[in-house]
Chains A and B, each alone.
Chain A
C-alpha cells in the first residue's frame, strides 16, 4: 500500500500539469425561457443528430439512421463515433428537444384574458401539456417501442429516468405551479408515472387521432385525484377534466 502511495506522489508531478477546460456539459436548465438558452448539444453532435432524427420514421432508432444523418450533415459513417452512447444518444436527442419544444408548442391564454372567460386551472394545464408532449411522438410512434427498449438497457435506465424527471418538472413549471412544499416530489413522481404509462399505451393505440390514448391519460389522472387524496387537497388536479376548456383551445387552432 505505501508503495502505491509513493508512486502516486511521484507521478503527481505529471498529473499536476493537466489542465481541464470546461467540459461541454448540457446544463440542467429546466426553465429555459427565463434567460437565453444555450444550445442543448454541441454543434457537430447537433448537426448529426438533427439530420438523423429525420431518418427515424424509415429506419427507426438505429445506427443506420445515425449514419445517414452523419452523411447528410457532411460527415462520414465513422463519425457516428462522436456519439459515445450511439442509438441512445439519438433517443435522448428526441427526448430533450421535445421537452424544450413544449414551451413554444403550448401557449395558454394570458391570465385574465377575454374569450372563454374561465381561466384554466393548473390541473387542466398539466393535462394539456402532457397531451401535447405525447403528440410530439406521433411521427415516430411506430418506432417508439424500439426507443423504449433502448432506454431499458441497464446503462441507460438512469439517464432516461433523469430525463423523465426533467419533463415532469418542465410540465409543472409551464403549468404555473410555483409551490415549493412537500408535494413537490409527489407531484413530479406521479406525473412521471402517468406520463410513461400513457406513452407505452400510445405505442399500441390504433384508434383515430389517438382518442384512446387521451382517454387513458384522463383515467390515470383521475386515479391520482381519487387515490392520492392529499394531492386533491391542493386542488391542482381537480379541474384537469376541463375538456370544455381544451375544446375551446382547440377551436382556437391549438394542436392539442
Chain B
C-alpha cells in the first residue's frame, strides 16, 4: 500500500477541482462489456510492476483489458476527437502534422526521378483513425511532387475511428480510388501486410496507446522494405522544467474539465492525458527503435514546441 501513496498524492494535487472516479466507479463513456469485466477483474489498485498488468493511464489494468479500454476511449471520443487534440497540443497539432508530413516529403516526383519500375510510395499509416495523416500525405505527394501513384493504407484497431476516417475521405479526392484504403488492424500484429512491402510507416499520436509498443515496432520493421522508414509523431516530454510545470498543470487540470464540457466524457480525456504522461522519454523511445534494428537519423528524434511532442524516425538498413 505504501507504494500507492505518492501516486494518490500526485493525483490529488494534479487534479485541481475535481476528484477522479476510481476504476470501479463506472463512467458513462465505457461500453457495458468493458464495464463488467472491469468490475470483476480490476481491483482499484494493482502495483504497476506486477507481471501481467499494463498501464491504462495511471490506472493499472490487466493487459487483456487494455485493448478493450483503449477501444472504448476512442469510440467515445471519435467524433469530438479534433477538439481533444486541439486542447492537448495548445491548438497546434495541425501544424505538427503539417511539419511531420512535409518533412517526410512523400511521393516520387516523375519530373526529377529517373525512370524506374516503381511508381509512388507505399505508405502505411497506423492508428490512422480519422485519416488526418493519410490525406496530408496524399495531398503532399500530389501537389508538391506531382505524384499520382503514392498510396496510403490507413490501419486502426477501432472501427468507429475508421468510420470517421471513411466519412471524411468522401470529402477528399481520394475516396474510392486505389490510393486510399482502410483496414481494421492491431499494430502489434499486421498479418495482412506482407514483409518488406512498405516504403513509409507512420504512426501519429497512436503508439502511446499500444499495449506492447516493442511488438508494434518489430512489426513495423518486418513490413518495411530495406531502406524504408518508421516515423512516429507523439506527445513527449517537455524539456524546460518551468514550461513542463505549466503544461502539466494545464493538461492535468484543465483538459479533463474541458473534455467534460465539450464531449461530456471526462474519463476518456483523463485517460488521454495520463497516457501521455506515461509515454517513454525521447531517449528511451529512441533506444526502443534502435533495439528493433533500425538506424536512427542524428540523435534519433526532433522535439516540437519544446518537447510537447516529438518526431522519432528509424531507417531499416539496406541488406
A interface, CB within 8 angstroms of B: 1-4, 6-11, 14-15, 17-21, 23, 42, 44, 59, 63-64, 67-68, 70-71, 73-79, 81-85
Which partner residue on chain A sits nearest B55 by CB separation? A14
B interface, CB within 8 angstroms of A: 6-7, 9-10, 13-14, 104-106, 108-109, 112-114, 116, 121, 199-200, 225-229, 231, 241, 244-245, 248-249, 252, 277-278, 280-281, 283-284, 287, 290, 295, 297-299, 302, 313, 315, 317-319
Tell me if A11 and B277 are in contact (CB < 8 A). yes
**What are 30 A-B interface contacts by the 8 Å CB criterion?**
A1-B245, A3-B13, A3-B14, A4-B241, A7-B10, A7-B277, A10-B10, A14-B281, A15-B284, A18-B283, A18-B284, A19-B287, A20-B287, A21-B290, A42-B295, A63-B105, A64-B109, A67-B113, A71-B114, A74-B226, A76-B227, A77-B108, A77-B113, A78-B227, A78-B228, A79-B227, A79-B229, A79-B318, A81-B229, A82-B295
Return A45 CB to nearest CB of chain B, in Å: 8
A3 touches which of B112, B245, B299, B318 (Cβ 8 Å): B245
Of the candidates A64, A81, A83, A85, the one having the most CB atoms from chain B within 10 angstroms of its own CB is A81
Question: Known contacts A23-B299, A76-B228: does B10 contact A3 (CB below 8 Å)?
Answer: yes
Tell me if B200 and A74 are in contact (CB < 8 A). no
Return B69 CB to nearest CB of chain A, in Å: 20
Tell me if A76 and B10 are in contact (CB < 8 A). no
Closest 5 CB pairs of A and B: A4-B245, A75-B227, A84-B298, A76-B227, A79-B227
Return A8 CB to nearest CB of chain B, in Å: 8
Of the candidates B7, B9, B112, the one having the most CB atoms from chain A within 10 angstroms of its own CB is B112
Tell me if B227 and A15 are in contact (CB < 8 A). no
Which partner residue on chain B sits nearest A67 by CB separation? B113
Question: Known contacts A10-B10, A78-B200: does B228 contact A4 (CB below 8 Å)?
Answer: no
B-chain residues with CB within 8 Å of residue A4 when the two chains form the complex:
241, 244-245, 248-249
Tell me if A6 and B297 are in contact (CB < 8 A). no
User: How many angstroms between the C-alpha atoms of A68 and B109 in the bound complex?
Assistant: 12
Return A60 CB to nearest CB of chain B, in Å: 11
Return B215 CB to nearest CB of chain A, in Å: 18
Q: Chain B at the A interface: mostly helix, strand, loop or mixed?
A: mixed
User: How many angstroms between the C-alpha atoms of A81 and B231 in the bound complex?
Assistant: 9
B280 touches which of A1, A2, A14 (Cβ 8 Å): A14
A-chain residues with CB within 8 Å of residue B114 when the two chains form the complex:
68, 71
A-chain residues with CB within 8 Å of residue B284 when the two chains form the complex:
14-15, 17-18
User: How many angstroms between the C-alpha atoms of A180 and B311 in the bound complex?
Assistant: 44
Which partner residue on chain A sits nearest B317 by CB separation? A44
User: How many angstroms between the C-alpha atoms of A15 and B248 in the bound complex?
Assistant: 17
Which partner residue on chain B sits nearest A17 by CB separation? B284
B-chain residues with CB within 8 Å of residue A7 when the two chains form the complex:
10, 14, 248, 277
Return A68 CB to nearest CB of chain B, in Å: 7
Tell me if B281 and A15 are in contact (CB < 8 A). yes
User: How many angstroms between the C-alpha atoms of A77 and B121 in the bound complex?
Assistant: 9
B112 touches which of A14, A64, A76 (Cβ 8 Å): A64
B-chain residues with CB within 8 Å of residue A15 when the two chains form the complex:
281, 284
User: How many angstroms between the C-alpha atoms of A37 and B298 in the bound complex?
Assistant: 20
A74 touches which of B116, B121, B318 (Cβ 8 Å): B318
User: How many angstroms between the C-alpha atoms of A9 and B241 in the bound complex?
Assistant: 13
Tell me if A9 and B315 are in contact (CB < 8 A). no
User: How many angstroms between the C-alpha atoms of A71 and B227 in the bound complex?
Assistant: 10
Tell me if A84 and B199 are in contact (CB < 8 A). no
Tell me if A18 and B277 are in contact (CB < 8 A). no
Tell me if A20 and B283 are in contact (CB < 8 A). yes
Which partner residue on chain A sits nearest B48 by CB separation? A13
Tell me if A6 and B10 are in contact (CB < 8 A). yes
Which partner residue on chain A sits nearest B121 by CB separation? A78
Tell me if B113 and A79 are in contact (CB < 8 A). no
Which partner residue on chain A sits nearest B230 by CB separation? A81
A82 touches which of B225, B277, B297 (Cβ 8 Å): B297
A81 touches which of B245, B280, B297 (Cβ 8 Å): B297
Which partner residue on chain A sits nearest B7 by CB separation? A10
Tell me if B297 and A83 are in contact (CB < 8 A). yes
Return A134 CB to nearest CB of chain B, in Å: 30
Tell me if A44 and B315 are in contact (CB < 8 A). yes
B-chain residues with CB within 8 Å of residue A10 when the two chains form the complex:
6-7, 10
Return A63 CB to nearest CB of chain B, in Å: 7
